[in-house]
């Protein structure tokens, strides 16, 4: 994938997205609608803040005892008849999955949503080895048919209009030309994917939670695609990051109450499936993947990003995400949490992401596990600058700012020039292409005097 090799330039990608003004507004509104639904659900529970606090405490405890819990999970899951695999990185994960599939002579897999397999680029890997992978979550299937990655971790096709889905289905499935009714289009997908479920020889799922105490895994979907995908064939492969662990089954009481409410404003997902061991006469393989998580665990500043339960609430609320689209982040996990997790994996490639943020803190306010997202984003900016990964323009601007701010006389003069310019220069000069601040906004009307000047002139008591 060529995209993998290039450095992500968020501002440029975002500029492309906002060029279509009507579409950018539509995208913004679609996500805000989900945020509003989330608020309604959060406000319907008097204990919402208690739940968030408990979730954060459970996660902090788990991360602090992760090695013990992973070992306990493996013991318990194995006792129930599951086979547990360990993968240090994406390549090893993909190889493990391929080996299992090849051993069973699998030609086609029905896969339900798993951000981990997206992170590992499992699909193209399996396809290269002659195995067909069908993403069965409707949104994921739509983006798969379009040959693009999901733009959101919960709402993979949130950037696509129904007219485009209609056109896509017309080409790929032979639905009526010009059809845009979501019900009709969903019905066509249901029909086609039923055949996929019935034909596939294996099912792959992600994992929302893995219970150390019992050795079970929990998968949450609304469509029922995970369950259909793994209850027809004999083979179920579940892929999970090592941070998905929770200590006790009772902890699910906290997390299942938070997850769907935060994600889509539902009281719970339609299906919350608890797999303990394989189905009778079936096989269950669980692949535990590190892929950089253990090094995040060692970092005091970013450790809490491992608490994430992938609800997507931080994306729905983020003013930058809503107006720049998930693809502008060039990563599997976009938005505020993605802007923390991706630089941890590759600071050079993802250096622009922590700047895709106004530091408004809304993500931190809605996060169900209380990750201090906006603080970590600010810390990332410090680390990126310290590592010399900052773009030359930002470095030059910072140097210039430091120079001016260290010289009070120069600073006052700069202020005077700016106030004069804002008041007296013609629009043509002020809003030229050299002033990015004037591009999508009206510049403020500057006061005649600075605060300092006004203060000096105040009537003395």
The interface with another protein within residues 87-126 (CB under 8 A) comprises 87-88, 92
Write out the binding residues for another protein, residues 1-60 only, by CB under 8 A: 30, 33-34, 45-47, 50, 54, 57-58, 60
Looking only at the bridges linking them, the beta strands covering 209-211 and 216-221 are antiparallel
CA distance 212 to 215: 5
Q: Distance of CA 100 to CAs 83, 84, 123, 357, 377, Å?
A: 11, 12, 15, 42, 39
Site for another protein in 309-348 (CB under 8 A): none
d(Cα 67, Cα 60) in Å, to the nearest integer? 13
Q: Which range of residues in 224-232, 330-338, 340-348, 413-421 is near another protein by CB under 8 A?
A: 224-232
Binds another protein (CB under 8 A): choice among 14, 66, 115, 369: 66
Q: Which 131-190 positions form the footprint of another protein (CB under 8 A)?
A: 136-139, 142, 155-158, 160-162, 165, 182-183, 185-187, 190
Query: Computed over its alpha carbons, how large is the radius of gyration of the chain?
Result: 25
For residue 73, give the 3-state DSSP assignment.
helix
- Of residues 112 and 123, the one with the C-beta less far from another protein: 112
Considering only residues 189 to 218 of the shown chain, the ones binding another protein according to CB under 8 A are 190, 193-194, 197-198, 211, 214, 216
Minimum CB separation of residue 338 from another protein in Å reads: 20
Does an H or E element contain 283, and which?
Answer: strand 283-289
Unique residue bearing structure tokens 């798993």:
114
Is residue 228 part of the contact set for another protein (CB under 8 A)?
A: yes
CB of 278 vs another protein, minimal distance in Å: 7
* Interaction between residue 238 and another protein (CB under 8 A): no
Residues in region 246-285 near another protein by CB under 8 A: 247-254, 256-257, 264, 266-279
E strands in 97-247 = 108-111, 132-135, 202-205, 209-211, 216-221, 235-241, 245-246
Q: Which stretch binds another protein (CB under 8 A): 294-302, 333-341, 361-369, 452-460?
A: 294-302
Running DSSP on this structure, what letter comes out for residue 353?
G
CB of 298 to another protein, least distance (A): 4
Nearer to another protein, 225 or 339 (CB): 225
Whole-angstrom distance, CA of residue 225 vs CA of residue 382? 43
> Least separation, in Å, of the C-beta of 425 and another protein?
44
Q: What is the dihedral of CA 72, 78, 83, 87, to 10 degrees?
A: 20
- The site map against another protein for 348-377 (x = CB under 8 A) is ------------------------------
When asked if residue 78 is in the footprint of another protein (CB under 8 A), the reply is no
Nearer to another protein, 161 or 394 (CB): 161
CB of residue 233 vs another protein: minimum separation in angstroms?
9
Distance between CA atoms of residues 225 and 229, nearest Å: 6
- Interface of this chain with another protein, residues 400 to 419, rule: CB under 8 A: none
Distance separating alpha carbons of residues 311 and 276, to the nearest angstrom: 23
Distance between CA 333 and CA 340 in Å, rounded? 10
Q: How far is the C-alpha of 332 from the C-alpha of 151, rounded, in Å?
A: 8
Q: For the CB of residue 99, give the shortest distance to another protein in the complex, in Å.
A: 13
């Amino acid at each position: 994938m060529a995209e993998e090799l290039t450095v992500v330039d968020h501002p440029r990608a975002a500029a492309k997205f906002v060029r279509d003004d009507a579409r950018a507004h539509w995208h913004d509104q679609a996500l805000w609608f989900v945020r509003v639904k989330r608020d309604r659900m959060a406000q319907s529970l008097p204990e919402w803040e208690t739940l968030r606090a408990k979730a954060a405490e459970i996660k902090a405890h788990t991360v602090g005892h992760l090695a013990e819990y992973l070992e306990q999970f493996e013991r318990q899951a194995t006792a129930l008849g599951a086979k547990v695999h360990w993968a240090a990185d994406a390549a090893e994960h993909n190889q493990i999955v391929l080996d299992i599939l090849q051993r069973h002579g699998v030609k086609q897999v029905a896969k339900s949503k798993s951000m981990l397999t997206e992170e590992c680029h499992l699909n193209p890997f399996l396809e290269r080895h002659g195995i067909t992978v069908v993403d069965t979550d409707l949104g994921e299937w739509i983006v798969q048919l379009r040959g693009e990655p999901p733009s959101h971790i919960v709402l993979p096709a949130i950037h696509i209009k129904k007219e485009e889905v209609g056109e896509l289905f017309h080409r790929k499935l032979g639905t009526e030309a010009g059809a845009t009714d979501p019900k009709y289009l969903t019905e066509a997908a249901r029909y086609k994917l039923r055949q996929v479920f019935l034909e596939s020889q294996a099912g792959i799922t992600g994992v929302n939670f893995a219970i150390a105490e019992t050795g079970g895994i929990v998968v949450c979907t609304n469509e029922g695609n995970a369950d259909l995908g793994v209850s027809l064939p004999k083979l179920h492969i579940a892929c999970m990051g090592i941070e998905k662990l929770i200590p006790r089954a009772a902890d699910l009481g906290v997390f299942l109450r938070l997850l769907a409410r935060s994600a889509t404003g539902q009281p719970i997902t339609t299906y919350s499936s608890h797999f303990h061991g394989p189905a009778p006469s079936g096989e269950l393989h669980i692949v535990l993947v590190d892929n950089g998580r253990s090094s995040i665990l060692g970092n005091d500043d970013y450790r809490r990003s491992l608490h994430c339960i992938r609800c997507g609430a931080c994306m729905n609320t983020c003013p930058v995400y809503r107006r720049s689209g998930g693809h502008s982040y060039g990563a599997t996990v976009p938005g505020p949490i993605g802007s923390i997790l991706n630089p941890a994996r590759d600071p050079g490639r993802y250096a622009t992401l922590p700047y895709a943020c106004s530091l408004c803190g809304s993500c931190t306010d809605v996060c169900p596990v209380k990750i201090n997202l906006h603080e970590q984003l600010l810390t990332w900016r410090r680390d990126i600058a310290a590592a010399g990964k900052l773009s030359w323009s930002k470095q030059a601007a910072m140097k210039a700012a430091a120079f001016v701010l260290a010289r009070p006389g120069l600073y006052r003069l700069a202020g005077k020039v700016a106030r004069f310019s804002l008041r007296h220069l013609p629009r043509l000069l002020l809003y030229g292409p050299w002033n990015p601040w004037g591009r999508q906004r009206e510049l403020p009307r500057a006061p005649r005097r600075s605060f300092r000047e006004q203060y000096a002139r105040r009537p003395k008591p």
